[in-house]
């Protein structure tokens, strides 16, 4: 503000000087004009007399047309003679009737005098001609008086008269008869003399103008001083504001500090003497930061930069630095800084940065928590568009694992078709209270069928309707539930098996024994049969022929076969219910699988139905899996059952393939038996471990193989057994056995 006041004072002094120069120039001009009038007064008077006599002649001629024609015409000629005398006097010098001498001075007048004298003679002749025309009634006007008057108008100026008002004054007089009359009476001469007073009027006018300029200058000076006072007050107020704001402000030229405010000093910990005049390098931790900020400033002419500033004690603060190059009108201490200096403002954003870092950490923590959740979490808006997506959700969307970030912004039902039933948009935007939706669905888009509980609950925040979809993969839990159901069934069957077996065994033994006795009674090799036949007069050979012809022996054989099969079933039921007394010992699962494959290849009953040599057996054994404590005979029975079932499932497959896999998962050894058969439907798969359920043709299986196997694994070895199957995808049985084994009945070893 002080500098602005100084500039205003400079402008006022300049205005005063200019006003003085103008007054001096005006005074000089008026003095020169007065001098010109004084020196050339006789010539000017003569020139004016020429103009006056010409005017008198014109007026007299005008009167000659209406009254006293002859006298008026003579008077007009006399006036022209007087005008001619003045013209001659201006050429050669002479005195007029009043005795005033007219010096001969024709410098600059020669051409004008020649023109006036020539037009004067023309005007003399024209008066006579016009007069004759007027008498004749033709009214022809030659215009000679106009040409004469025009040249007479030039004569005063050429003689040194610089006041054009005189000629204009004569022209006005010509318009009024009264004025013309007074002109004729000689008053024109007196008025011309009065016009000389104009030069003194001009001098007075110049004085008045000078006085006006002086008063205006004083008024302007007062206004400027008042403005300077207000600006000074405003400067003081602005300085107070700049010292009070929590922003560091200053000026920099050549990257050296010119001025700073108190907040900047408090922010950095320096004193004013330590900062002003010093390089701004002291506020940066490295030369690289110092140079980068400088390049950006000089390249763009300013801008905003988020950087870190070094304090006096060596600590750093996060700041937002704003800078702009000074305008061309910027002046500091009377020196222009346009294009050389920058003004800057520094805002301490350490707390904001700390809050931002805390928010980022919180956001990262929440994201990590969400991604670590075993449940899939999907947030959607009222249009069903995905706004939130955690890592677990990738398992339920094909391709989402590789295109995860692009999932946001897509419609939920397009990403996960199984959730199309939710109809999120209509439910969320209905405006009604939507209860939580629970539903269990099956996932068929994954490589294996998975089960999931889907829960959707609405959210209302910020006036916007949203929803959160929670997808819980319950495949393992479903399998455990199924195994629990199977275990309960097995326990129920196990409890009844012993009693049922004994109840069936008694009549079954009688049937088999009776069939055997019937066959023996018809044998011709037994002496007792022949004796009884002779007493009864019966040909035993003929009876045998009859029995053979009627296939009675075949029927008896069928009864015996059926009884034997029933006995096997009863035996399996007894094995199912009976606790194993065989001791447990460490065995390698891979070795047992190889023994089972060799047994299956040499099994006569199996080879009658399937050509096991055509099956491509793939062994994938992890050598790091340790020996498992188990009952070898029972585990081999389970493996053989699975191999037989796989062979049956691949009966009509062109290239049958059996995969045997042994791996370790934590404290469990895992055995997988997988075929590439046609697979089964889900409702069939669920019944695999039910007693007496079989997918084989009637008579080809008892339906107890898998149920007994499940019982052996779950009850005798404390393991798990489950199956995965789908049409066209084959079947895979998985067995999990504790590496350290359990005692029969599920007690750890």
The pLDDT of residue 736 is: 93
Does residue 720 fall inside a structural domain?
yes
For residues 386 and 523, membership in a common domain is answered with no
User: Which range of residues forms the domain containing residue 416?
Assistant: 373-466
Looking up residue 682, the CATH number of its domain turns out to be 3.30.565.10
d(CA 688, CA 486): 9
Cα atoms in the 13 Å half-sphere on the side-chain side of 371: 9
The pLDDT of residue 113 is: 65
For residues 176 and 45, membership in a common domain is answered with yes
Q: Which of 180, 201, 222 is the last residue of a domain?
A: 201
Q: For residue 278, what is the DSSP state?
A: S
pLDDT at 136 over 70: no
Looking up residue 348, the CATH number of its domain turns out to be 3.30.450.20
Does residue 215 fall inside a structural domain?
no
Across the strands, what pairs with 442?
A: 451
For residues 252 and 319, membership in a common domain is answered with yes
For residues 601 and 692, membership in a common domain is answered with yes
Place of tokens 């010119």: 258
Across the strands, what pairs with 253?
A: 256, 341
pLDDT at 493 over 80: no
Q: Kindly indicate the confidence band of residue 663, based on its pLDDT and cuts at 50, 70 and 90.
A: very high
Q: Which of 361, 360, 321, 328 is nearest to 344 (CA)?
A: 321
d(CA 618, CA 622): 13
Does residue 363 fall inside a structural domain?
no
pLDDT at 733 over 90: yes
- Say if CB 268 and CB 319 are below 8 A apart: no
Does residue 382 fall inside a structural domain?
yes
Total of domains in the chain: 5
Q: Where is 673: in which H helix or E strand?
A: strand 668-675
Q: Which of 273, 373, 354 is nearest to 316 (CA)?
A: 354
Mean pLDDT of the chain: 72
For residues 65 and 127, membership in a common domain is answered with yes
pLDDT at 513 over 80: yes
Q: Kindly indicate the confidence band of residue 2, based on its pLDDT and cuts at 50, 70 and 90.
A: very low
pLDDT at 434 over 50: yes
The most confident of the ranges 283-292, 436-445, 486-495 is 283-292
Q: Kindly indicate the confidence band of residue 66, based on its pLDDT and cuts at 50, 70 and 90.
A: low
Q: Which of 444, 466, 488 is the last residue of a domain?
A: 466
The pLDDT of residue 669 is: 94
For residues 544 and 659, membership in a common domain is answered with no
pLDDT at 649 over 60: yes
pTM: 0.39
For residues 86 and 157, membership in a common domain is answered with yes
Mean pLDDT confidence for 35-43: 54
Q: Residue 732 CB: number of other CB atoms within 10 A?
A: 19
Does residue 230 fall inside a structural domain?
no
Minimum mean pLDDT among 182-191, 283-292, 618-627, 733-742: which range?
182-191
Q: Kindly indicate the confidence band of residue 344, based on its pLDDT and cuts at 50, 70 and 90.
A: confident
More confident: 60 or 162: 60
pLDDT at 32 over 70: no
Does residue 732 fall inside a structural domain?
yes
For residues 586 and 566, membership in a common domain is answered with no
For residues 566 and 586, membership in a common domain is answered with no
For residues 272 and 414, membership in a common domain is answered with no
Does residue 684 fall inside a structural domain?
yes
Minimum mean pLDDT among 151-160, 361-370, 612-621, 628-637: which range?
151-160
d(CA 165, CA 276): 70
Does residue 164 fall inside a structural domain?
yes
Mean pLDDT confidence for 545-561: 86
pLDDT at 1 over 90: no
Q: Kindly indicate the confidence band of residue 631, based on its pLDDT and cuts at 50, 70 and 90.
A: confident
For residues 688 and 566, membership in a common domain is answered with no
The pLDDT of residue 673 is: 93
For residues 6 and 139, membership in a common domain is answered with yes
Q: Which of 538, 553, 573 is the last residue of a domain?
A: 573
């Amino acid at each position: 503000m002080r500098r602005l006041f100084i500039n205003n004072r400079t402008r006022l002094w300049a205005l005063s000087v200019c006003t003085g120069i103008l007054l001096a120039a005006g005074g000089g001009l008026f003095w020169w004009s007065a001098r010109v009038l004084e020196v050339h007064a006789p010539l000017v008077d003569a020139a004016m007399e020429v103009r006056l006599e010409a005017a008198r002649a014109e007026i007299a001629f005008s009167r000659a047309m209406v009254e006293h024609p002859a006298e008026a015409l003579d008077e007009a000629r006399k006036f022209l003679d007087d005008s001619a005398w003045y013209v001659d006097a201006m050429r050669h010098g002479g005195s007029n009737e009043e005795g005033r001498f007219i010096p001969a001075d024709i410098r600059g007048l020669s051409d004008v005098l020649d023109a006036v004298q020539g037009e004067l003679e023309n005007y003399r002749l024209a008066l006579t001609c016009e007069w004759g025309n007027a008498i004749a009634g033709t009214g022809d006007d030659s215009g000679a008086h106009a040409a004469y008057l025009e040249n007479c108008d030039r004569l005063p100026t050429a003689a040194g008269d610089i006041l054009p008002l005189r000629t204009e004054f004569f022209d006005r007089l010509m318009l009024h008869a009264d004025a013309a009359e007074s002109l004729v009476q000689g008053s024109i001469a007196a008025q011309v003399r009065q016009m000389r007073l104009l030069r003194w009027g001009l001098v007075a006018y110049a004085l008045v103008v000078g006085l006006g300029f002086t008063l205006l200058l004083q008024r302007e000076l007062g206004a400027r001083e008042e403005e300077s006072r207000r600006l000074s007050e405003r400067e003081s107020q602005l300085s107070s504001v700049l010292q009070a704001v929590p922003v560091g402000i200053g000026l920099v030229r050549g990257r050296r500090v010119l001025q700073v405010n108190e907040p900047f000093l408090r922010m950095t910990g320096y004193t004013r003497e330590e900062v002003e005049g010093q390089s701004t390098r002291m506020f940066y931790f490295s030369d690289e930061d110092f140079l980068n900020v400088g390049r950006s400033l000089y390249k763009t002419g300013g801008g905003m930069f988020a950087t870190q500033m070094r304090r006096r004690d060596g600590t750093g603060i996060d700041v937002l630095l704003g800078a702009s190059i000074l305008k061309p009108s910027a002046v500091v201490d009377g020196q222009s800084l346009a294009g050389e200096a920058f003004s800057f403002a520094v805002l301490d954003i350490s707390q904001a940065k700390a809050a931002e870092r805390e928010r980022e950490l919180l956001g990262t923590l929440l994201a990590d928590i969400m991604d670590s959740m075993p449940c899939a979490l999907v947030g959607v808006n009222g249009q069903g568009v995905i706004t939130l997506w955690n890592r677990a959700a990738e398992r339920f969307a094909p391709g989402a694992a590789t295109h995860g970030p692009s999932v946001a912004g897509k419609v939920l039902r397009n990403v996960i078709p199984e959730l199309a039933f939710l109809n999120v948009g209509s439910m969320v935007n209905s405006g009604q209270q939507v209860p939580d939706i629970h539903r269990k669905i099956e996932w068929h888009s994954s490589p294996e069928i998975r089960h999931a509980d889907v829960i959707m609950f609405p959210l209302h925040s910020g006036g916007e309707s949203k929803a959160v979809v929670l997808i819980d993969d319950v495949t393992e839990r479903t399998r455990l539930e199924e195994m629990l159901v199977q275990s309960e069934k097995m326990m129920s069957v196990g409890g009844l098996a012993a009693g049922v077996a004994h109840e069936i065994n008694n009549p079954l033994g009688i049937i088999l024994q009776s069939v055997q006795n019937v066959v023996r009674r018809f044998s011709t090799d037994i002496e007792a049969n022949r004796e009884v036949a002779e007493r009864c007069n019966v040909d035993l050979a003929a009876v045998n022929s009859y029995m053979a012809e009627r296939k009675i022996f075949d029927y008896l054989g069928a009864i015996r076969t059926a009884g034997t099969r029933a006995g096997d079933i009863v035996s399996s039921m007894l094995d199912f219910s009976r606790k194993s007394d065989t001791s447990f010992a460490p065995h390698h699962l891979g070795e047992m699988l190889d023994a089972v494959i060799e047994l299956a290849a040499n099994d006569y009953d199996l080879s009658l139905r399937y050509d096991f040599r055509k099956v491509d057996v793939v062994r994938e054994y992890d050598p790091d899996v340790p020996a498992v404590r188990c009952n070898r005979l029972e585990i081999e029975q389970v493996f053989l059952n699975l191999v037989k079932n796989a062979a049956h499932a691949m009966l009509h497959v062109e290239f049958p393939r059996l995969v045997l896999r042994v791996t370790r998962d934590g404290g469990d050894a895992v055995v997988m038996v997988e075929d590439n058969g046609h697979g089964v439907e889900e409702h069939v798969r669920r019944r695999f471990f039910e007693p007496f359920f079989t997918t084989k043709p009637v008579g080809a299986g008892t339906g107890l193989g898998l149920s007994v196997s499940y019982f052996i694994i779950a009850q005798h070895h404390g393991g798990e057994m489950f199956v995965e199957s789908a049409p066209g995808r084959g079947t895979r049985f998985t067995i999990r056995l504790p590496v350290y084994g359990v005692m029969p009945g599920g007690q750890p070893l």
